[in-house]
Amino acid sequence: MDIVIVGIIAIAAGAAIGLLIARSRNNEGANNTEQTTRLTQENTKLVAQTEVLLAEKKNLEQQLRDKEEIHNNRIDELKRQHQEAMETQQKSADTLLLRERELHADELNRLNTGYDRQMAELKEQIVNERNYAKEMIDAANESLKKEKEHSEAMRQENDRQWTQKLETLKQEMQKTAAEELARKQSALQDNNRTQMDELLRPIKEQFAEFKRSVEESKTQKKEYKPAEEFAYAMNKRLVGYYGDIGNPQNIMILVIKEATPGQGRASIALYRELQNTDIVRALNKWYDGLLWYRSYWRRDRDGAGGCVHSIGTPSPKEIAECAYGERVKPNQIEKTVQRLLPCILDGSAIPFDLEQQCIQSASKLLTTDKSKRNSVLETACAVYKYNRNRIKEEYQLALEENRTSRDYLYGRLLAVAHQEEYRALKKMDPDSNRETNAMRYMQQFALRPATTWKLLYEQKLKPYRRHLSVKSVDYFERKVKDISDLFNVDDYINDSPLSGEYLLGYQCQLKAFEKSSDDTSNTNNNTEE
* Confidence at 518, pLDDT banded by 50, 70, 90: very low
Q: Is residue 327 part of a domain?
A: no
- pLDDT above 70: residue 254: no
pLDDT digits (tens, 9 = 90+) for 445-466: 999 999 999 999 999 999 999 9
Q: Is residue 46 part of a domain?
A: yes
Q: Is residue 293 part of a domain?
A: no
**Which three-class secondary structure state does DSSP give residue 136?**
helix
Please return the burial class of 20, using the count of CB atoms within 10 Å of its CB with bins 0-12, 13-18 and 19+.
middle
Task: Kindly list the distances between the CA atom of residue 355 and the CA atoms of 87, 131, 149, 329, 441, in Å, as whole numbers in the listed order.
Answer: 102, 78, 67, 19, 21
Q: Is residue 159 part of a domain?
A: no
Which parts of 232-381 are beta strand (E)? 251-260, 265-274, 292-299, 305-312
Q: Is residue 155 part of a domain?
A: no
Instruction: Give the end of a domain, one of 93, 113, 135.
Output: 93
- Structural domain including 43 reads 2-24+35-93
Least confident of 76-90, 138-152, 426-440: 138-152
Instruction: Give the end of a domain, one of 50, 70, 93.
Output: 93
Q: How many domains does the chain have?
A: 2
Whole-angstrom Cα Rg for the chain = 59
Q: Which residues contact 247 (CB under 8 A, 6 or more apart)?
A: 276, 277, 280
Instruction: Give the end of a domain, one of 93, 113, 140.
Output: 93
Q: Is residue 191 part of a domain?
A: no
- When mean pLDDT is compared over 95-104, 155-164, 510-519, the highest value belongs to 95-104
Q: pTM, whole model, 2 decimals?
A: 0.52
Q: Is the pLDDT higher at 455 or at 49?
A: 455
- When mean pLDDT is compared over 94-103, 228-237, 347-356, 388-397, the highest value belongs to 347-356
Q: How far is the C-alpha of 212 from the C-alpha of 222, rounded, in Å?
A: 10
- pLDDT above 60: residue 271: no
Q: How far is the C-alpha of 256 from the C-alpha of 368, rounded, in Å?
A: 34
How large is the angle between the packed helices 316-324 and 330-346, nearest 10 degrees?
A: 130
What is the predicted pLDDT for the residue at 273?
57
* Confidence at 525, pLDDT banded by 50, 70, 90: very low
Q: Is residue 68 part of a domain?
A: yes
What is the predicted pLDDT for the residue at 197?
61
Q: Is residue 529 part of a domain?
A: yes
